[in-house]
Amino acid sequence: MACGTKHILGAALIAVCMAVQTGCAGPVTRWMVNLRTAQGDSALARPNLAEAEKEYRLALALDPRNAHAKAGLAKVLYLRARTEFGSSQLDAAAEDITQSLRYAPDDAAALALANEIEQAKIRREIVQTNYPLYGSITAALVPAFRQVAASSKEIQKQVKAFSNDFDAAHLTKAILQSYDLEDEVHRITLRLIAYRGYVTSGQAKGAAPAAANAPALLPIP
C-alpha cells in the first residue's frame, strides 16, 4: 500500500476515534464502511480474494449488518470454495461454502455448490471404506500417467527435430512411439474401467479384486 494511502487511512481512523468521543460516529463510520467495501470490490475484481475478504470483514466489524459487505464476503467465500472443490480440497471447500451461506443463505450458486460438495463427501466416505484397495490402484495409475506425458513430449520432440533437419527418420521414430503410446493409453483405459467398477460396486473393505481383473491393476512392465 502506498505511503499516501496509509496516511489517509491513518487520518481516517483518528477521525473515527474523535467522532466517537464527540458523539458523531455515525457519518464517519458509514464513510469508513463505504471505503472498505469499495476496496473490497476493487480487490474482488482483480481478483485478489484474500485482500477482498480482509476489506469486507473490516467493513462488517464496523457495521455487522451491512448488506454490501455481507454480499461481497459471501462471493469471496463462494469463489474460494469453488476453487478448493476443483482441486479436491473437500473439507476446506465445505467450510468456506458453509460460511458463504451464512452471509447469503439464498444464493442459488452457493446452494448448488454446497450440494455438490456434500455429495462428493458422501462418495468419498464410501470410497474410503475400501481405501486400501483403491489406494493401491491409484498408486499404480500415477506412474502410468507420467509415462504417457513423457511419451507425448518425446513424440513432439521428434516432430520438432524433423522441422529442423527434415530427416524423415524423426517422423518414423515419432510414429513408432505413437503406437507405443496408443497401447499405453489402452491399458490405462482398461485399468480405469476396472477402477470405476470397484468404486461403484460398493465392495466391502478388504475384499480382493476378481482374479480376472487383477492383471489390469498391476503396474505396466
Please determine, for residue 173, whether its predicted confidence score (pLDDT) is greater than 60: yes
- Predicted TM-score (pTM) of this structure: 0.60
**Domain edge (last residue) among 75, 97, 127:** 127
Shared domain check, 92 and 70: yes
Shared domain check, 162 and 202: yes
Instruction: Name the residue range of residue 105's domain.
Output: 3-127
Shared domain check, 110 and 37: yes
**Domain edge (last residue) among 127, 161, 177:** 127
Asked if residues 146 and 188 have their Cβ atoms less than 8 Å apart, the reply is: no
Which of the four pLDDT bands, split at 50, 70 and 90, describes residue 195? confident
Shared domain check, 208 and 117: no
Q: How far apart are CA 146 and CA 220, in angstroms?
A: 12
Three-class SS string for the chain?
A: CCHHHHHHHHHHHHHHHHHHHHCCHHHHHHHHHHHHHHHHHHHHHCCCHHHHHHHHHHHHHHCCCCHHHHHHHHHHHHHHHHHHHHCCCHHHHHHHHHHHHHHCCCCHHHHHHHHHHHHHHHHHHHHHHCHHHHHHHHHHHHHHHHHHHHHHHHHHHHHHHHHHHCCHHHHHHHHHHHHHHHHHHHHHHHHHHHHHHHHHHCCCCCCCCCCCCHHHHCCCC
Shared domain check, 206 and 111: no
**Domain edge (last residue) among 105, 127, 149:** 127
Could you tell me the CATH number of the domain that includes residue 63?
Answer: 1.25.40.10
pLDDT for the residue 131: 63
Shared domain check, 20 and 110: yes
Shared domain check, 121 and 134: no
pLDDT for the residue 158: 94
Shared domain check, 158 and 137: yes
Of 97 and 132, which is predicted with more confidence? 97
Of 195 and 23, which is predicted with more confidence? 195
Shared domain check, 122 and 139: no
Shared domain check, 139 and 111: no
To the nearest whole percent, how much of the chain has pLDDT over 90? 59
Segment 55-101, tens digit of pLDDT: 999 999 999 999 999 999 999 999 999 999 999 899 999 999 999 99
pLDDT for the residue 178: 96
* The total number of structural domains that make up the chain: 2
Shared domain check, 121 and 41: yes
Shared domain check, 142 and 183: yes
Residue with cell 499404480: 140
